[in-house]
Amino acid sequence: MTVHPAASAIGAQHPAVRDLLTVRKDAAPGRILIEGAWEHDRLLATDTQLEAFFWCPEAGTTYPVDRIAARATDVYRISPKLLDRLSRRTRSDGLLSIARLPVWEPDELHLTEQSLVLVADGVEYAGNLGTLIRTVDAADADCLVLTSRRARPSHPAVYSASRGTVLSTPVVEFEEIATAAGWLRQHGFSVHLADPAAQGSYREPQYDGPTAFVVGSEGSGLSAEWHAQGFGGVSIPMLGQADSLNVALSAGILLFEARAYKNGW
């Protein structure tokens, strides 16, 4: 493989490397590290801003690096030794990029009577956050709403777990739970709190009109403030010894139940 003519060879002390390490540590909100062939395929399928591309030709990738380089503001060639330091993988294909996450504003979303929204309250783990984003996309829901956020969408693990849909799925955040609840009420949403202690099954409601489900953190569930908003709860019956499901699995069951109802499956 020949060196891409736009690539500048850089070493470990280059400012771009320090910048990449900052993004890798999830210390640069709004920017995300993308690594790998399919990950870049997904990136290039969107209009996401690609700030920098780092390429190690000795890694032996057969990916058409020109496609990535043509989209990147800056292109760098790095050595195998530096790749080992920068990569999050044991066997890297030598393709790393820094991309700018899209910004979504709640009032810019086009909501209808068929709208479906997932609210994630206090989700702690980046892998679960990424899976929630992927689930929202799969169920053709309108957006993911974050409250009491702990994991950030900019964590590299979110990209992998979401299968890149973090670049195309609207994710909006509210600093206050009351503000998020007010936004849902303003747009006429029926809001259902996912609560293992709730008496009603998720199969019982008729999901007419705009519908939202609220799921809680992996450890402590929904915050008391969501319960204080006066919304009703739904539960997924537990038929074995476990008393609850993983938050992303629960979200998938709830979203697809509502989607099936709305679409007449």
Among candidate residues 100, 118, 133, the one where a domain is terminated = 100
In a domain, 248, yes or no: yes
Q: Which residues form the domain of 192? A: 106-263
What pTM was computed for the model? Answer: 0.92
Q: Is 190 helix (H, G, I), strand (E, B) or coil?
A: strand
Q: Are residues 20 and 38 in the same domain?
A: yes
Sheet strand arrangement including 190-194 = 171-174, 143-147, 116-121, 211-215, 190-194, 232-234
In a domain, 224, yes or no: yes
In a domain, 2, yes or no: no
Q: Are residues 130 and 33 in the same domain?
A: no
Task: Give the CATH number of the domain where residue 214 resides.
Answer: 3.40.1280.10
Indicate the number of domains in the chain. Answer: 2
Q: Distance (Å, rounded) from C-alpha 154 to C-alpha 180?
A: 21
CA dihedral 254, 262, 212, 166 (to 10 degrees): 80
In a domain, 62, yes or no: yes
In a domain, 75, yes or no: yes
Q: Are residues 57 and 155 in the same domain?
A: no
- Over its length of 265 residues, how does the chain's per-residue pLDDT go in tens digits? 454 555 789 999 999 999 999 999 999 999 999 999 999 999 999 999 999 999 999 998 999 999 999 999 999 999 999 999 999 998 899 999 999 999 999 999 999 999 999 999 999 999 999 999 999 999 999 999 999 989 999 999 999 999 999 999 999 999 999 999 999 999 999 999 999 888 889 999 999 999 999 999 877 888 999 999 999 999 998 888 877 788 999 999 999 999 999 999 8
Q: Are residues 162 and 126 in the same domain?
A: yes
Q: Are residues 141 and 248 in the same domain?
A: yes
